Structure 1
Amino acid sequence: MVFWVFGYGSLVWNPGFEYDEKIIGFIKDYRRVFDLACIDHRGTPENPARTCTLEQIEGAICWGAAFCVRGGPEKERLAMEYLERRECEYDHKTLVDFYKEEDPLQPALTGVVVFTSTPDVVSNKYYLGAAPLEEMARQIATASGPCGNNRDYLFKLEKAMFDIGHEDDMVIELANEVRKVLEVGKGISKEELVASPLMKLKSQSPIPALQPSRLPEAVAADS
């Protein structure tokens, strides 16, 4: 038995389950958006966080990581149960083709599981929909929950995409807008901004500023 799952949000840097192989690559006709409410990890019902989901758009690509689980049905079951608890805001498991940079035309893997969310505010209580960049940035800058604050989720994703060599322009733009909110002091100190993972990395090495171009319980993990 073997299955693969594609991570495009916090799974990229924090899978949280036992896996046997990790491959960097991308899926087609999807793009990463911050249109999903998180009310139990990085936000609360009163002040939901914004986390990643996927939007279908022809011609788009979304980079991330595919994780393989081998070892029989029991190991597969445990991994899937963990993921279903962790990804509870996502109401669909979609099967997609996964591509590697070396061959962008021929799928390296088929039937890869990816958690997606219905983009409808009526049928999906977790779907927030799109919003102006400044509004999303203010929400992300101020939301927090049991796993920490929403802005660190965004900054860790920004750093994770940098680390795999495939920055996401939208993530960079949104992260820079959040930094602007933090800098003007809307209830958050500038010291907290400097403590973000990517800002630490920049302060320790001559990396130019980016421009757009096993957890015990799933409840303690990001979505």
Structure 2
Amino acid sequence: MAMFVVSGRLGMPSNNRSETLTKIDHSEDHRGTPEAPGRVVTLIERSYWEQLTDSHDSAPERVWGVAYRIIPEKVAEVKEYLDIREINGYTIHYAPFHPADGSPPIRTLVYIGTPDNEQFVGPQEPQELAEHIFRSQGPSGLNKDYLLSLDTALSELAPDSGDHHIHDLARRVRELEKNCEDETKLLNPTTSVHQQKHSTEEAEEIEEPHH
């Protein structure tokens, strides 16, 4: 029997996917380190979310995501892989997934975080959070790449998702990137001029006639 899994990135065999409340967790084994944990999104129950104070307090009533259909002979392998990957602060739930094309709901397996686990961070001031994401990295890569990829996926797969929190964080991180690039240019203002002068002198030496 096939299994459907709702996941941000599967990394395992599947033969189909369907496009369709996130909160912030910290990650010390993918997008951060134990000394400087990165930030990743996690699903939590709405009843938990309603108890939190958030800078973006207008969460929609539904979660947008991707459901992967796992071929029967790979179900056990994928389940073992996901249990290991999501072991840090998640519990297994089964929930209905409503495909964007209006077809009947699919029973899917999802991993949901609980606020009482040590990985749960909860709400943070948006600019401080953006700066933390901008600085963090881990074995799976830069934390900012994770955020910007998530923002792009939401814009492309679910333009009606209305996830202002993710879009706002991505905007702030892009501004930090631009400011960092501008500062680098200011610290090295003579590089291109020096290189151009050096090249001109070399050209004059080559063109100078020899007697």
In the aligned structure 1, how far is the partner of 2:66 from the partner of 2:125? 28
Q: Which AA in structure 1 matches 2:120? A: Y
Q: Which residue of structure 2 lines up, in the alignment, with residue 46 of structure 1?
A: 35
Higher helix content, 1 or 2: 2
In the aligned structure 1, how far is the partner of 2:36 from the partner of 2:182? 22
Judge conservation of contact 2:44–2:114 (CA < 8 Å) in 1. no
Q: Which AA in structure 2 matches 1:78? A: E
Q: Which residue of structure 2 lines up, in the alignment, with residue 21 of structure 1?
A: 16
After TM superposition, the structure 1 = structure 2 runs for residues 155-170 of structure 1, keeping only pairs within 5 Å, are 155-166=148-159, 167=161, 168-170=163-165
> Which sections of structure 1, spanning at least 5 residues, go unmatched?
26-30, 193-223
Q: Which residue of structure 1 lines up, in the alignment, with residue 128 of structure 2?
A: 135
Judge conservation of contact 2:92–2:109 (CA < 8 Å) in 1. yes
In the aligned structure 2, how far is the partner of 1:88 from the partner of 1:139? 24
- The alignment of Structure 1 onto Structure 2 pairs a total of residues equal to 170
- Change in Cα spacing, 1:101 to 1:71, as seen in structure 2 (3 Å) is closer
Higher strand content, 1 or 2: 1
Calculate percent identity across the aligned residue pairs. 29
After TM superposition, the structure 1 = structure 2 runs for residues 3-152 of structure 1, keeping only pairs within 5 Å, are 3-7=3-7, 9=8, 11=9, 15-25=10-20, 31-33=21-23, 35-57=24-46, 60-72=61-73, 75-103=74-102, 107-110=104-107, 112-120=108-116, 124-152=117-145
- CA radius of gyration, larger in: 2
- Change in Cα spacing, 1:20 to 1:180, as seen in structure 2 (3 Å) is same
In the aligned structure 1, how far is the partner of 2:69 from the partner of 2:169? 30
RMSD: 2.2
In the aligned structure 2, how far is the partner of 1:23 from the partner of 1:91? 23
TM-score by length of 1: 0.69
- Change in Cα spacing, 1:157 to 1:109, as seen in structure 2 (3 Å) is same
TM-score by length of 2: 0.73
2:87 aligned counterpart, secondary structure: coil
Q: Deviations over 1:154-187 (max 9, x none)?
A: 01111122221435322111101122233333xx
In the aligned structure 2, how far is the partner of 1:76 from the partner of 1:148? 28
